[in-house]
Amino acid sequence: MRGEDRQKGAQTGTEQWRAGAGAARRNVGRMGGAGRLQQFEETDDGRDLSALDGVSRVRLERELDTPTPYRVAEPDYTPYAADLLPRREPECDRNRLLQLLQAWFKAEHLAADWSTLRDAPLATLIDQLSMSAPFPADERQAMLEAADPVARLDLMQDLLAVRIAGGADGSMQ
Please give the CATH superfamily to which domain 3-84 belongs.
LON domain-like (2.30.130.40)
167 pLDDT band, cuts 50/70/90, is: low
**What CA–CA distance (Å, rounded) separates 34 from 16?**
13
pLDDT tens-digit profile of 76-113? Answer: 999 999 888 888 888 888 999 999 999 999 988 889 99
**What CA–CA distance (Å, rounded) separates 36 from 60?**
17
Region 30-55 average pLDDT:
87
Report the DSSP pairing between strands 17-18 and 48-64.
unpaired
Residue 41, helix vs strand vs coil: strand
Please report, rounded to a whole number, the percentage of residues in the chain having pLDDT higher than 90.
Answer: 24
**What CA–CA distance (Å, rounded) separates 9 from 154?**
33
Report the DSSP pairing between strands 48-64 and 72-76.
antiparallel
Please state the domain extents for the chain.
Answer: 3-84, 94-165
The secondary structure of residue 93, as a DSSP letter, is -
Q: Is the pTM of this model over 0.75?
A: no
- Range from 2-6, 69-73, 106-110, 126-130 carrying the lowest mean pLDDT: 2-6
CB 136 within 8 A of CB 113: no
4 pLDDT band, cuts 50/70/90, is: very low
pLDDT tens-digit profile of 115-134? Answer: 999 999 998 899 888 888 88
**What CA–CA distance (Å, rounded) separates 117 from 113?**
7
